[in-house]
A = this chain, B = another copy of it.
């Protein structure tokens, strides 16, 4: 695979400086690209570092100064680079076709150009849209609807009645629609509350490996469009996550909580029941959001229990100063006692 620099500039909608006929043979890593590869830098300050590599050309942000190597100026070099990667190292995709070992239930509606991998089981009344891929050893429960252009990697499980819209990707081991954790104690024994709702995953969502998204008790657990969910994330029953939100790996969100649009929940965050997180909130790694708490729009939070970043950063810093502070306090106590003695002595002396 080779592309002329000129064609790459066109692909990215960028402005080329340098020989348009240079042949590019791959997409390289800034740390150690090979000859022939194109790399990218996110900021003009890395241009010297990039020039010292073996890279053949550089994707740079608009306004980056002329370079010794050919450059292509673009609005967002990372997104331009993604386009280049899709040319040079495209993701392998299974061919359309229904493997003869797959099992297709009654009344399934299978769109055009669908791939169903070996040993995958579709229960009754499943709908798969066009160009959708369900890879090997997967299980799709009854009445599940999956839209167009989805890709379920091997060993994805979708329980009955769940709905997955278009352009959704779910990685291996992920479980969508398992029972919510609902029990009621009576006479020292837990009784199961049936979990009869479903999960709805909207367009353009991607879900990582070995995540678990529980079905609602009644109604739906909802993941809105464009949201990205990382590996080993836990989403409980009746949770609603807004659009274009990032849920980083190992986050856990407890029952009935609502997460807004354009939020980021960093790794290992825990969110209690009935929490509300408004739009554009960032919750730092390992934060704990207590039950029923509301996090305000456009704020950044840290700590467990969470506080606004300004407060929590100050507390973290002061915690670090506690040892010094305790000795300062002891010193003050001592000074105080000495002064008291001095004053008492003076008083006595002056009588």
List residues of chain A with CB under 8 Å of any chain B CB. 27-29, 31, 75-76, 78-79, 81-82, 85-86, 89-92, 101, 103, 117-119, 121, 135-137, 139, 141-142, 153-155, 157, 159-160, 169, 171-173, 175, 178-179, 181, 183-186, 188-194, 196, 204, 206, 208-212, 214, 217-219, 226, 228, 230-232, 234, 236, 244, 246, 248-250, 252, 254, 262, 267-268, 270, 272, 285-286, 288, 290, 304-305, 307, 311, 314-316, 318-323, 325-326, 328-329, 332-333, 335-336, 339-340, 342-343, 346-347, 350
Instruction: Name the B residues within 8 Å of A139 (CB-CB).
Output: 135-137, 154-155, 172
Contact of A157 among B92, B173, B248, B340 (CB under 8 A): B173
| Minimum distance in angstroms from A133 CB to a CB of chain B | 13
Instruction: Name the B residues within 8 Å of A190 (CB-CB).
Output: 226, 228, 244, 246
| Minimum distance in angstroms from A323 CB to a CB of chain B | 5
| Minimum distance in angstroms from A162 CB to a CB of chain B | 12
- Can you sample 29 A-B contacts with CB below 8 Å? A78-B184, A82-B192, A119-B121, A171-B175, A172-B178, A173-B175, A173-B210, A181-B208, A189-B226, A190-B228, A190-B244, A190-B246, A210-B210, A210-B212, A210-B232, A212-B231, A232-B232, A232-B234, A249-B254, A252-B267, A254-B267, A267-B272, A268-B288, A315-B320, A325-B329, A329-B329, A329-B332, A342-B343, A343-B343
Given known pairs A79-B186, A226-B189, A343-B346, the reply for A209 and B249 (CB within 8 Å) is no
A226 CA to B190 CA in the complex, in Å? 7
Contact in complex: A86, B194 (CB < 8 Å) = yes
Given known pairs A212-B210, A311-B323, A346-B343, the reply for A244 and B181 (CB within 8 Å) is no
A192 CA to B262 CA in the complex, in Å? 16
Q: Which residue of the partner chain B has the closest CB to A181?
A: B230
Instruction: Name the B residues within 8 Å of A188 (CB-CB).
Output: 244, 262
Instruction: Name the B residues within 8 Å of A236 (CB-CB).
Output: 249
| Minimum distance in angstroms from A118 CB to a CB of chain B | 5
Contact of A315 among B81, B171, B272, B322 (CB under 8 A): B322
